[in-house]
Amino acid sequence: MAFYSKEKLLSHITDRELKAVLDKIVDKALRVLKSHTKDVVFFLDPYQQQEIEGILRGIPEINFSFSGGYPEAERKKLVICPHYNEITEQDFNIKYLQFEGKLKFDTITHRDILGALMSLGIKRDLLGDIIINEEEEIMQCVVDESIVEFIKFNLRQVKKVGVDVHDIEKCMVKVPQKKIKKIRSTVASLRLDAILSSAYGISRSKASSLIKKEAVKLNWQVVTNPASGVKNGDIISVMRKGRVEVLDIEGETKKGRIALILGRYT
């Protein structure tokens, strides 16, 4: 077995919070090499997935795979094993819950459900995606199997509305189709504050203030610099405002501005 330096593998990571997460995962990967067993990492956001994937590719003696329980999932668990082992769906230990009650689908948000679950003392990394399907009036959540019975027994309300929680099969997961409002616009530059201003119809100063208050994520990473650059395919998330995707940067107009198409999730 080759020797791998954890410090070297993580040397390019400057974000302290991210580094703490990746440090634990690399420890698991190195233990897998020694013990010749599989190990599972709890749910990671897309930014964490991207960073750890790059690191694990530097350890060719292991095999690894991500799954969030359904194809479109954002938050995913990670299974690590020796390169000669296969990874199956059962290895991820993922379960599905459905919330039932007199819930008003026009007022309940992902944040409400997440808040209700975390108020029980559940850590975020035990929770996968929260699914709200307004058309079919269904609210569901992907979770680690270790907390299924705890949630079923203890969760009694969401936003002061009584709920019952049932575990369901994967085939019953109802992911709604994404609704995107396309916005054609021009900006002076591809700075984050300029894109944010255009997407939400707010002033550059307001956009800049949101960024500095750590209310904005670029590709799932909190950014605090309004001048951060944005490119095609980037995802911008704003606390309590939703999400915007840069669908296409079309080029410079005759007036020297940049034409682009944004997709605002509704």
Q: pLDDT value at position 15? A: 87
Q: Which fold has domain 94-172?
A: Alpha-Beta Plaits (3.30.70)
Nearest to 94 by CA among 141, 52, 48, 51: 141
How confident is residue 1, by pLDDT bands cut at 50, 70 and 90? low
Q: Helix, strand, or coil here: 234?
A: coil
How confident is residue 191, by pLDDT bands cut at 50, 70 and 90? very high
Query: Can you give the residue ranges of every domain in the chain?
Result: 6-91, 94-172, 180-265
DSSP character string of 145-174: GGGHHHHHHH--EETTEEEEEEEE-GGG--
> Residue 195 burial by CB count (10 A; 0-12/13-18/19+): exposed, middle or buried?
buried
pTM here is: 0.86
How confident is residue 105, by pLDDT bands cut at 50, 70 and 90? low
* pLDDT digit string, tens, across residues 197-219: 999 999 999 999 999 999 999 99
- For the cut 70, the answer to whether the pLDDT of residue 35 exceeds it is yes
What are the CA-CA distances from residue 40 to residues 76, 168, 180 (Å)? 11, 22, 34
Domains 6-91 and 94-172 share a fold: no
User: Six-digit token pair at 121?
Assistant: 């003392």
- For the cut 60, the answer to whether the pLDDT of residue 221 exceeds it is yes
Kindly state the percentage of the chain with pLDDT values over 70. Answer: 98
User: Using CA of residue 215, residue 217, residue 222, residue 225, what is the dihedral sign?
Assistant: negative
* pLDDT digit string, tens, across residues 63-94: 999 999 999 999 999 999 999 999 999 999 99
Residues 180-265, CATH architecture: Roll (3.10)
Mean pLDDT of 35-42: 96
User: Six-digit token pair at 117?
Assistant: 């679950």
> Residue 6 burial by CB count (10 A; 0-12/13-18/19+): exposed, middle or buried?
middle
Residues 6-91, CATH architecture: 2-Layer Sandwich (3.30)
User: Six-digit token pair at 261?
Assistant: 């198409």
Q: How far apart are CA 258 and CA 254, in angstroms?
A: 9
What does the CA dihedral 4, 7, 11, 15 come to, rounded to 10 degrees? 130
How confident is residue 106, by pLDDT bands cut at 50, 70 and 90? low
User: Using CA of residue 232, residue 227, residue 111, residue 129, what is the dihedral sign?
Assistant: positive
